[in-house]
């Protein structure tokens, strides 16, 4: 299974802590697991050098930005 990294991101777009490595079968599973990790920071999901998704921490107005496959 591929490794994905979840990075905490500040509102300014900078990494603000260490990444979390998760193993998932595909992007959908990685997104589902990453949604559980939103804890006051935006997060970005990467699969090696490929950007997958950005989730904002604002649960009321959660937005996502998808990467290119």
- pLDDT digit of tens for each residue in the chain (69 aa)? 899 999 999 988 899 999 999 999 999 999 999 988 777 789 999 999 999 999 987 743 555 556 654
Distance CA 67, CA 10 (A): 18
Residue 1, CA distances (Å) to 9, 24, 27, 62, 67 in order? 25, 6, 11, 28, 20
Q: What is the pTM of this model?
A: 0.80
Sign of CA dihedral 22, 24, 29, 31: positive
Phi/psi at 59 (nearest 5 deg)?
-60, -35
């Amino acid at each position: 299974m591929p490794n994905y990294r979840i990075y905490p991101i500040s509102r300014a777009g900078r990494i603000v802590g260490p990444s979390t490595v998760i193993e998932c079968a595909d992007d959908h599973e990685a997104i589902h697991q990453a949604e559980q990790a939103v804890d006051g920071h935006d997060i970005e999901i990467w699969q090696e050098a490929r950007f997958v998704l950005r989730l904002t921490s604002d649960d009321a107005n959660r937005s996502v930005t998808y990467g290119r496959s």
